[in-house]
Structure 1
Amino acid sequence: MMATYSQNKKDEGDASTIDIISNLPECIKEMILVKLPIKEAVRTCVLSKDWRRTWSKVQYLYINVGNEGSKLENTIKFIDHVLNLHNGNVTMLELSGVKPSEVDFERWMVKLSRMQIGKLILKLDCERSPMSRRSCQVTGHCAMKLPHGFSGFKLLYSLHFLGTCKINETDMAKLISSCPLLEDLFLDGFNYCALKIHALNLKKIWILGSFGDLYLQTPKLLKVFIAIMYYKKKVVIGSNLIQALSSISHIQTLTIYCQCPDPLIGSLKAKFPPILGNLIRLEIFLQPSSSPQLTFAILLFQNSPRLQAISLLLQPLQFPSISSTYEQLESSQPGLFPSLRYIHIKPAPGIDCSIAFAKFILKNAPALERLTIWENVQDSEASKLRELSATAEIVFNKHFSISSWYW
Structure 2
Amino acid sequence: MVSQSKPLMLGKKPKPQVIVKDRISQLPESKLWAFVPNIDLDDEHEHFSERNRDRNDYVHFAMFVDHVLSLHETDIHMFRLHCSIVEDFTPIEGWICSAIGRNAVEFDLHIESFRNKIFQLPRSVFMHKKLVVLKLNSNCLSYVPPESGCFPSLKFLHVTVYFPNNALAEKLFSCCPVLEDLTIDGVVGYDALNFKISAPELKMLRIRLRLGALGIDGNNFSVNAPKLETLDVTEVIFSNYNLESSKSIGCSLPAFGNLSELKLVVRNRYHWELLTELLKRSPKLEHLVIEHEHELCCTTFSDDEEEVEELSTVYLGPQWNTPETVPICVSSHLKTITIRGFGGGYDEMEVAKYLLENGKVLNKMVIYSFVFSCGSEKLDKEIVMFQTGSRTCQVEFF
- 2:63 pairs, out of 64, 77, 81, with 77
1:361 aligns with 2:355: yes
Higher RCO (C-alpha 8 Å, min separation 6): 2
Displacement, 1:311?
A: 0.9
Q: Which residue of 2 aligns with 1:333?
A: 326
- 1:283 pairs, out of 236, 247, 263, with 263
Rate the CA distance shift 1:101–1:163 in 2: closer, same or farther, 3 A.
closer
Code of the aligned partner of 1:250: K
Rate the CA distance shift 1:24–1:279 in 2: closer, same or farther, 3 A.
same
Displacement, 1:202?
A: 1.3
Displacement, 1:346?
A: 1.8
Rate the CA distance shift 1:163–1:367 in 2: closer, same or farther, 3 A.
farther
Greater fraction of residues in helix: 1
After TM superposition, the structure 1 = structure 2 runs for residues 358-397 of structure 1, keeping only pairs within 5 Å, are 358-375=352-369, 376-378=376-378, 379-385=380-386, 389-397=390-398
Give the Cα–Cα distance (whole angstroms) in 1 for the partners of residues 266 and 215 of structure 2: 24
Displacement, 1:87?
A: 0.8
- 1:68 pairs, out of 31, 42, 47, with 47
1:91 aligns with 2:77: yes
1:114 aligns with 2:105: no
1:184 aligns with 2:156: yes
Code of the aligned partner of 2:135: H
Give the Cα–Cα distance (whole angstroms) in 2 for the partners of residues 114 and 149 of structure 1: 10
Cα deviation digits, residues 355-387 of structure 1 (max 9, x gap) = 322221111111111111011343522431476
Code of the aligned partner of 1:119: E
Give the fraction of aligned pairs with identical amino acids, expressed as a percent.
18
Rate the CA distance shift 1:76–1:283 in 2: closer, same or farther, 3 A.
closer
Q: Which runs of 5+ in 2 are unaligned?
A: 1-19, 51-55, 297-310, 370-375
Rate the CA distance shift 1:391–1:288 in 2: closer, same or farther, 3 A.
farther
Rate the CA distance shift 1:78–1:297 in 2: closer, same or farther, 3 A.
closer
Give the Cα–Cα distance (whole angstroms) in 2 for the partners of residues 95 and 353 of structure 1: 47
Give the Cα–Cα distance (whole angstroms) in 1 for the partners of residues 108 and 283 of structure 2: 41
CA contact (8 A) 2:276 2:323 kept: no
- 1:207 pairs, out of 184, 204, 212, with 184
Give the Cα–Cα distance (whole angstroms) in 1 for the partners of residues 120 and 114 of structure 2: 10
Displacement, 1:181?
A: 1.6
Rate the CA distance shift 1:234–1:144 in 2: closer, same or farther, 3 A.
farther
Code of the aligned partner of 1:81: H
TM-score normalised by structure 2 residue count? 0.68
Give the Cα–Cα distance (whole angstroms) in 1 for the partners of residues 352 and 215 of structure 2: 39
CA RMSD for the aligned pairs?
4.1
Code of the aligned partner of 2:365: L
Displacement, 1:199?
A: 1.5
Q: Which residue of 2 aligns with 1:45?
A: 28
Displacement, 1:297?
A: 2.1
Give the Cα–Cα distance (whole angstroms) in 2 for the partners of residues 340 and 286 of structure 1: 21
1:312 aligns with 2:309: no
Cα deviation digits, residues 178-232 of structure 1 (max 9, x gap) = 2222222222234334523221111122223545323232111111123454545
Displacement, 1:105?
A: 2.9
Which secondary structure does the structure 2 equivalent of 1:312 belong to?
A: strand
1:300 aligns with 2:272: no
TM-score normalised by structure 1 residue count? 0.66
Rate the CA distance shift 1:55–1:145 in 2: closer, same or farther, 3 A.
closer
CA contact (8 A) 1:286 1:294 kept: no
Q: Which residue of 1 aligns with 2:89?
A: 102
Count of paired positions: 334
Displacement, 1:146?
A: 4.6
Give the Cα–Cα distance (whole angstroms) in 1 for the partners of residues 214 and 268 of structure 2: 23
